[in-house]
Amino acid sequence: MNTPPPSPRPVAPERVLVIGAGIVGACTALELQSAGMAVTLIDAGDPAGGTTGGNAGLISVDSCLPIALPGLLRQLPGLLGDADGPLSIDPAMLLRRFGWFWDRLLSTRMARTLAISDALRALHVGAIDDYRRLLGPDFDALVQTRGQWHVRAATTMSDTDRVIDVLRMRHGVRTQEVADDDLQRRLPGLAPAMRRGTWMPDNAHTVDPAALTRGLVQRFTQLGGQWTTRRVRALQVDGGGAVGVATDAGELRPQAVVVCAGMQAQALLAPLGVNLPLLAERGYHAQLPPQDGLPEVPVLFKSHGFVLTPMRQGPRLAGKAEITAPDAPPNERRMQGMLEQARRCWPALRVEGVVFWRGDRPSTADSLPVIGPVLPAAPRLLVAGGHGHTGLTGAPMTARIVRAQLQGLPSPIDARPYALARFQRLQRSH
């Protein structure tokens, strides 16, 4: 595909099918339903049954940092050899998906980094207000707007830290730098080895990612939306651009389809000739027992690649990105290593009775999701996915973009950075 697909014509207020009941699908279904469209939300399992329910719970409106920053090429040998670091890359995957990794390296040029940062900030900055609107009276029970801590052992600034400061200053992100005794006073219980912290007061978190998603779906159905449990087997496009959806309970013929199916979106769209360049970044979480003496806000241990988030069920450790074969078994070393590192960072942390989980984040090479039409022959077939590490924060604005596209109205933000066509442009320029 060498040209961007045309914008879809406005959809009449009926027959829109949203595939996938993770956080992106739930927000999209509710947003479209609130616009007066008759929406059906479909999934093979329960809402939040996939990666959404296992995430770290962060709603980071100040998130404006691509996953890969300038200097990645110098760091790559260490990523290939460090099984305990924040990111582990299987060398076999590097060879198998070389094009994806090449695009990621291209995205770390400073000019491209600035553009990606701008697009991330636009996608994320209004998330708290949007969740407040979408959740209504349930917002306060599900979302805590108390801020976040980012802590690290190093007291000196690295080149990556300097790039991060540039990006945050570019977007007016409010931060407060705290060090040594002052940090220990603000976070009693933190190991003395953690000597530098960044307080980010405008960020938030959910106390239960699965309940948040289920709450959105419940509100969607209460307001007239239709929820159905079916497995989507295939998509078909006829000569007139209409989309048929084959399910395990028969065929559906909606007027518009929005695919919010995470990594499964790739397999659904491939038979139509759509190359959705996603790669699964595996993540882990460790659900710990309820306990006292822990912070009431998320603490991100930046040098270790995980976050400690207070949740209803007890504190949750989440992170440790891993790029490996989709069918590879769980990496016991990384899961246990996360616990050991967490105990060193917060010595009083209790880990007995821990329950581990793993899931695959659908990630693009440039850290931006793919949002909008993907096939010129079917302009009412849209995709919304590939949010990687920031789906919980990016989902509400994603839903607003999809709504505007289906209504034929101006987008709430510039949607061009999230178009699938950007990957074709990137490849043609090199």
- pLDDT computed for residue 90 by the predictor: 84
Q: Which residues contact 218 (CB under 8 A, 6 or more apart)?
A: none
- pLDDT computed for residue 8 by the predictor: 52
Q: What is the mean pLDDT of residues 353-361?
A: 94
Q: How far is CA 154 from the centre of its chain?
A: 27
Q: What is the mean pLDDT of residues 44-58?
A: 93
- pLDDT computed for residue 429 by the predictor: 41
Which of 1, 7, 3 lies closest to 405 in space, CA to CA?
A: 7
Which of 303, 349, 337 lies closest to 151 in space, CA to CA?
A: 303
CA distance 1 to 322: 30
Q: What is the mean pLDDT of residues 199-208?
A: 98
Q: How far is CA 76 from the centre of its chain?
A: 23
* Position 424 pLDDT exceeds 80: no
- pLDDT computed for residue 232 by the predictor: 97
CA distance 278 to 275: 9
pLDDT tens figures, 112-168: 999 999 999 999 999 999 999 999 999 999 999 999 999 999 888 888 899 999 999
Tokens 């077939």 identify what position? 381
Confidence band, pLDDT 50/70/90 cuts, at residue 12: very low
pLDDT tens figures, 238-254: 988 899 999 999 999 99
Beta-sheet strand order (sheet of 226-229) = 226-229, 39-43, 16-19, 256-259, 381-385, 370-373
CA distance 303 to 151: 8
pLDDT tens figures, 316-338: 999 888 888 888 888 888 899 99
* Position 85 pLDDT exceeds 80: no
- pLDDT computed for residue 425 by the predictor: 57
CA distance 5 to 374: 6
CA distance 41 to 287: 29
- pLDDT computed for residue 303 by the predictor: 82
- pLDDT computed for residue 45 by the predictor: 94
Question: What share of the chain in percent tops pLDDT 90?
Answer: 79
Beta-sheet strand order (sheet of 58-59) = 58-59, 204-206, 143-144
Tokens of 283: 């993540």
pLDDT tens figures, 299-310: 999 888 899 999
- pLDDT computed for residue 324 by the predictor: 85
* Position 3 pLDDT exceeds 60: no
Q: What is the mean pLDDT of residues 276-286?
A: 94
Count CA atoms within 13 Å of residue 391 on its CB side.
36
pTM above 0.75, yes or no: yes
Which of 138, 110, 32, 153 lies closest to 407 in space, CA to CA?
A: 32
Tokens of 348: 């009083």
* Position 207 pLDDT exceeds 60: yes
Tokens of 100: 């994806």
pLDDT tens figures, 360-394: 999 999 999 999 999 999 999 999 999 999 999 99
- pLDDT computed for residue 59 by the predictor: 98
Task: For the chain, give the mean pLDDT.
Answer: 91
| Three-class HEC string of the chain | CCCCCCCCCCCCCCCEEEECCCHHHHHHHHHHHHCCCCEEEEECCCCCCCHHHHCCCEECCCCCCCCCCCCHHHHHHHHHHCCCCCEEECHHHHHHCHHHHHHHHHCCCHHHHHHHHHHHHHHHCCHHHHHHHHHHHHHHHHEECCCEEEEECCCCCCHHHHHHHHHHHHCCCCCEEEEHHHHHHHCCCCCCCCCEEEEECCCEEECCHHHHHHHHHHHHHHCCCEEEECCEEEEEECCCCCEEEEEECEEECCCEEEECCCCHHHHHHHHHCCCCCCEEEEEEEEECCCCCCCCCCCEEECCCCEEEECCCCCCEEEEEEEECCCCCCCCHHHHHHHHHHHHHHCCCCCCCCCEEEEEEEEECCCCCCEEEECCCCCCCEEEEECEHHHHHHHHHHHHHHHHHHHHCCCCCCCCHHHCCHHHHHHHHCC
What are the structural domains, with CATH classification, of the chain? 16-428 (3.50.50.60)
- pLDDT computed for residue 72 by the predictor: 73
User: Quick check: 235 and 267 in contact, CB under 8 A?
Assistant: no
